[in-house]
């Protein structure tokens, strides 16, 4: 099968969704599919240094970058639109990542015009919390463009039934398929090699217990909850340190630092900025517990990477990953800081529990959530959609 993927960007500094599109494409290519990925040069700091108009092959994926024009917030790229128009009919299926932006809108329109089936992955953008952001703008756009694109899709890719139900409330009626995010596995010996590296590079963390948050420093991540929960943690475990790892694309760290100062935690907190590759993996390896307290979160790649590295997690109930509790690899709490602190202390103060949860966590991810396993599930959906389309023709 020849599959065209379309995504606004692949710079992981913009968050997990960019990471997902490229990771999924690479896994599909490993499975023998002919994968092309169209994207733009947009990132959080302006045009990125990528080859424009010169397709490259990256880990088996034919990758094309197109320049973004104004309005940048809409990821408007006329050259991307023209490329989709020229090539769309050459593909068996189009897989579109994202909503509320030009690459998704033009991809759906051209695929429909050329009678090529398409799948849309909303990336949790149709969840109730997300829809409250720029509500009026989204309401108008949905009436004019978005619902039509979604409801003419061959399928909508959801993470879980909760995301699907929110999309149903929004008015989406297309066939659902459920495909989780995955991670690239890291070998045991490489994890062992990275042990101690993160702490050695941050001297204030040596001999400390580490609560790690890794993600965008943004309002949706619920860092206010984490700050006030950590204040309670420090009262019981004064040797604990909070590590906030991730890019600050929106300038939100100023507010986070203000909360930390109010809570008396400035000296107990380390900001690392964006981490990637072995730097990110070493942070997971050296931490004692991973924490997510988001107001909304899909199947977080960061959470699965942490678990893959053997790091147990504490998350609030808005985090959509039921296997965390089902397989006893972490703790899910209510969203109030007191309950979140209780969950963190349960793991921080019990080394045996921490070790057992970590072992189960790694086994879970390697058995169910590597990109290769996710790709196998998705290929079955591809075959059904392409097959049914061929029969109708």
Interval 266-283: pLDDT, tens: 999 999 999 999 999 999
Task: Classify 273 as helix, strand or coil.
Answer: strand
Q: What is the pLDDT of residue 51?
A: 80
pLDDT tens-digit readout, 90-141: 999 999 999 999 999 999 999 999 999 999 999 888 988 888 888 999 999 9
Q: What is the pLDDT of residue 44?
A: 42
Q: Check whether 89 has a pLDDT greater than 70.
A: yes
Q: Which residues pair with 63 in a beta bridge?
A: 37, 56
Rounded to an integer, the average pLDDT of 335-356 is 97
Task: For residues 53 and 50, give the distance between their C-alpha atoms in angstroms, rounded to a whole number.
Answer: 10
Position with higher pLDDT, 62 vs 10: 62
Q: What is the pLDDT of residue 131?
A: 87
N-term to C-term CA, the chain: 17
Q: Which domains does the chain have, with CATH numbers?
A: 2-182+370-392 (3.40.50.2000), 188-368 (3.40.50.2000)
CB 36 within 8 A of CB 61: yes
Q: What angle do CA 278, 280, 286 make, to 5 degrees?
A: 95
Q: Check whether 49 has a pLDDT greater than 80.
A: no
Distances in whole angstroms, Cα of residue 336 to Cα of each of 74, 211, 227, 232, 380:
35, 17, 11, 12, 41
Task: For residues 88 and 315, give the distance between their C-alpha atoms in angstroms, rounded to a whole number.
Answer: 41
Neighbours of 131 (CB within 10 A): 17
Residue ranges of alpha helices (H) inside the chain are 16-30, 78-87, 102-113, 128-131, 135-141, 147-151, 161-170, 188-194, 197-201, 223-236, 253-262, 277-286, 301-308, 323-326, 337-348, 351-368, 371-392
Q: What percent of the chain has pLDDT over 70?
A: 96
Task: For residues 184 and 350, give the distance between their C-alpha atoms in angstroms, rounded to a whole number.
Answer: 29
Task: Classify 63 as helix, strand or coil.
Answer: strand
Q: What percent of the chain has pLDDT over 90?
A: 82
Instruction: Give every strand in the sheet of 93-97, ordered side by side.
Output: 56-58, 61-66, 34-40, 2-6, 93-97, 118-121, 155-158, 176-178
Which of 316, 318, 305, 358 has the alpha carbon at shortest distance from 341?
A: 316
Q: What is the pLDDT of residue 141?
A: 92
Rounded to 5 degrees, φ, ψ at 152 are: -105, 5
Give 16's pLDDT tier (boundaries 50, 70, 90): low
Question: pTM score, two decimals?
Answer: 0.90
pLDDT tens-digit readout, 146-172: 999 999 999 999 988 889 999 999 999
Q: Check whether 63 has a pLDDT greater than 50.
A: yes
Rounded to an integer, the average pLDDT of 7-26 is 82
Position with higher pLDDT, 213 vs 202: 213
Give 179's pLDDT tier (boundaries 50, 70, 90): very high
């Amino acid at each position: 099968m020849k599959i065209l993927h379309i995504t606004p960007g692949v710079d992981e500094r913009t968050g997990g969704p960019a990471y997902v599109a490229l990771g999924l494409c690479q896994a599909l290519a490993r499975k023998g599919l002919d994968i092309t990925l169209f994207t733009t040069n947009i990132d959080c700091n302006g045009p990125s240094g990528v080859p424009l108009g010169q397709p490259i092959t990256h880990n088996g994926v034919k990758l094309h970058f197109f320049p973004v024009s104004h309005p940048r917030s809409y990821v408007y790229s006329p050259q991307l639109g023209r490329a989709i128009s020229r090539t769309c009919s050459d593909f068996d299926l189009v897989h579109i990542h994202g909503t509320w932006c030009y690459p998704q809108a033009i991809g759906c329109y051209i695929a429909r015009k050329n009678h090529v089936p398409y799948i849309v992955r909303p990336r949790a953008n149709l969840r109730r919390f997300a829809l409250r952001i720029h509500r009026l703008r989204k309401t108008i756009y949905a009436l004019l463009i978005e619902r039509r694109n979604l409801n003419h899709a061959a399928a909508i890719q959801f993470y879980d039934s909760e995301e699907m139900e929110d999309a149903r409330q929004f008015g989406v009626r297309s066939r659902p398929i459920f495909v989780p995010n995955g991670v690239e596995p890291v070998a045991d010996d490489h994890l062992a090699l990275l042990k101690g590296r993160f702490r050695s590079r941050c001297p204030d963390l040596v001999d400390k217990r580490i609560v790690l948050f890794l993600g965008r420093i943004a309002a949706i991540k619920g860092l206010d909850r984490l700050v006030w929960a950590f204040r309670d943690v420090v009262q019981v475990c004064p040797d604990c340190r909070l590590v906030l790892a991730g890019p600050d694309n929106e300038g939100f760290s100023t507010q986070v630092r203000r909360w930390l100062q109010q809570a008396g935690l400035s000296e107990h907190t380390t900001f690392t900025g964006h981490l990637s590759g072995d730097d990110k993996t070493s942070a997971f390896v050296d931490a004692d517990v991973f924490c997510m307290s988001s107001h909304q979160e899909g199947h977080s790649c960061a959470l699965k990477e942490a678990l893959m590295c053997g790091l147990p997690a504490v998350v609030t109930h808005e985090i959509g990953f039921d296997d965390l509790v089902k397989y006893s690899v972490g703790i899910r709490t209510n969203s109030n800081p007191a309950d979140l602190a209780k969950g963190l202390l349960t793991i921080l103060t019990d080394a045996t529990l921490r070790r057992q949860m970590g072992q189960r966590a790694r086994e879970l991810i390697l058995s169910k959530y590597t990109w290769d396993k996710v790709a196998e599930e998705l290929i079955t959906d591809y075959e059904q959609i392409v097959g049914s389309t061929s029969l109708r023709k």
